[in-house]
Amino acid sequence: MKTSASGIKQIREHEGVSLKAYPDPATGGDPWTIGYGSTLGVYPGMVISMDEAEERLIRDLERFERGVLDAVKVPLSQRQFDALVSFSFNVGLANLRSSTLLKKLNARDYTGAADQFLRWDKANGKRMQGLANRRAAERSLFLSGT
């Protein structure tokens, strides 16, 4: 399964794009981010082109798509898959793997899993409105695929 065009559009909108590396808003430091939320190999002062941002997005998506497919043991619709890739892209695959969201999903509790998206609205212990908005959108996308 691959992320759909509308799923990629949603990730782009939530992540935004920055051609200059910036620190994590919650920590003021690591992980440094560039492009559409890419963190691998990013360092302070790094600058990339728009083409490089797009290339990083495609590489990152492939990694998160594989991670979601490896972690999820139940059937998914395209919209559910897109929501999970977006979620993982933002919180990381390790957090997906250890989440109650995944446990509920793999137990075929799709509604319970959907409700778990909303719990992930904090960064460094502080509720962030941008994350709350993103999680609500991911939950809605996930539920539209059930």
Instruction: List the catalytic residues.
Output: 15
Classify residue 80 as exposed, middle or buried by CB count within 10 Å of its CB (0-12, 13-18, 19+).
Answer: buried
Q: Are 5 and 78 in contact (CB under 8 A)?
A: no
Q: How far apart are the first and last CA of the chain?
A: 17
- Is the CB of residue 104 less than 8 Å from the CB of residue 114? no
